[in-house]
Amino acid sequence: MKTLVKTPVKTPVKTPVKTPMKTPERILLLLKENPHLAIADLAVSIEISESAVERAIRKLREQNRLRRIGPTKGGYWEIAG
Instruction: Give the DSSP per-residue string, 48-73.
Output: S-HHHHHHHHHHHHHTTSEEEES-TT
Mean pLDDT (whole number) for 34-43: 95
Cα angle at 79 between 73 and 81, to 5 degrees? Answer: 160
45-56, pLDDT tens digit by residue?
Answer: 999 999 999 999
Q: pLDDT of 2-26, one tens digit each?
A: 566 665 666 566 655 566 679 999 9
The confidence score (pLDDT) of residue 3 equals 64
